[in-house]
């Protein structure tokens, strides 16, 4: 699949989505947001696909933010709210998907670009990547989840500091804060992302979906309620054919064959 704003490639059980607006550092306009969501819906519906990777074209930017030319001409508060809600629709869809998404962050991840990366399940960054929520420098606030996802990842104090100063941080600092899970040499970023994606793709797909669901929904629950939710999911997964296959394979000292049933 090829169009103006994104490239989509299927590599075995992996779907790789590349933001293809290198001339504007992969800035996210409304059309690109819609195309990413369409590609992810197709990925989610395809039973042969297990893990998606989102990255940016070139080596300068994952996505350097929302397209400022669109923000500048928003006619008023209602239009601006709809602009924000469209991106939230994508982020919440990613959050609710059964399949995991890896962000391979190859350069600047700023504003909406960082918010897109935070909507993914795992973030791997090139050591040259830079991160920030610079909306304050434009006289606005993060509008695609920055004030909500960032504190959940790095804590409220660090999130307030980044959002209020608009400062950028390095990949090393992002790793220290817990904003990304791995930092790798830029030249090996996609190889590392593919290796991790293939490792996840080799696991039982129903269990992967349940883990994502348990973590994402459990974060919004009190601990006792979250534990009971986990128990319910454990019961459902333990009754699947894949669970029977996995336990049998372990006892028989062989590799399991997952069917997603």
Rounded to the nearest 10°, the torsion over CA 54, 59, 63, 64 is 170
- Average pLDDT of the chain is 95
Residue 83 reports pLDDT greater than 90: no
Residue 202 reports pLDDT greater than 70: yes
pLDDT interval class at 3 (50, 70, 90): low
Q: Where are the domains of the chain?
A: 6-201, 205-251
pTM of this structure: 0.95
The reply to whether 70 belongs to the active site is no
User: 6-201 and 205-251 share one CATH topology?
Assistant: no
At the top level of CATH, which class does the domain 6-201 belong to? alpha beta
Active-site position among 22, 70, 85, 135: 135
Task: For residues 186-207, give the mean pLDDT.
Answer: 98
Question: Is the C-alpha dihedral spanning 222, 225, 231, 235 positive or negative?
Answer: negative
Active-site position among 70, 115, 230, 252: 115
What fold is seen in the domain 205-251? Lyase 2-enoyl-coa Hydratase; Chain  A, domain 2 (1.10.12)
The reply to whether 11 belongs to the active site is no
pLDDT interval class at 70 (50, 70, 90): confident
Go through 66-95 and write b for each residue having 16 or more CB atoms within 10 A of its CB, e for each that does not. Answer: bbeeebeeeeeeeeeeebbeebeebbeebb
pLDDT interval class at 195 (50, 70, 90): very high
Look at residue 2 in the predicted model and tell me its pLDDT.
46
pLDDT tens digit sequence for 94-126: 999 999 999 999 999 999 999 999 999 999 999
Look at residue 119 in the predicted model and tell me its pLDDT.
98
């Amino acid at each position: 699949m090829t169009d103006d704003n994104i490239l989509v490639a299927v590599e075995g059980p992996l779907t790789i989505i590349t933001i293809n607006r290198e001339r504007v550092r992969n800035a996210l306009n409304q059309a690109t947001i819609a195309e990413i969501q369409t590609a992810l819906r197709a990925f989610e519906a395809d039973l042969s696909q297990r893990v998606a990777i989102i990255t940016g074209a070139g080596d300068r930017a994952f996505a350097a933010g929302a397209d400022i030319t669109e923000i500048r001409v928003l006619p008023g508060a209602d239009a601006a709210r709809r602009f924000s809600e469209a991106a939230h629709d994508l982020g919440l869809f990613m959050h609710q998907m059964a399949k995991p998404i890896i962000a391979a962050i190859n350069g600047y991840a700023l504003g909406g670009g960082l918010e897109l990366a935070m909507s993914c399940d795992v973030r791997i960054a090139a050591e040259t990547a830079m991160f920030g929520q610079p909306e304050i420098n434009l006289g606005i606030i993060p509008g695609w989840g920055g004030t909500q996802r960032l504190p959940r990842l790095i804590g409220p104090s660090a999130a307030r500091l980044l959002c209020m100063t608009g400062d950028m941080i390095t990949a090393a600092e992002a790793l220290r804060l817990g904003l990304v899970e791995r930092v790798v040499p830029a030249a090996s970023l996609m190889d590392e992302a593919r290796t991790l994606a293939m490792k996840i793709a080799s696991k039982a797909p129903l269990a992967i979906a349940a883990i994502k669901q348990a973590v994402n929904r459990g974060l919004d629950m009190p601990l006792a309620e979250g534990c009971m939710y986990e128990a319910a999911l454990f019961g459902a997964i333990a009754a699947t054919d894949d669970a029977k296959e996995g336990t049998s394979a372990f006892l028989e000292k062989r590799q399991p064959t997952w069917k997603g049933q």
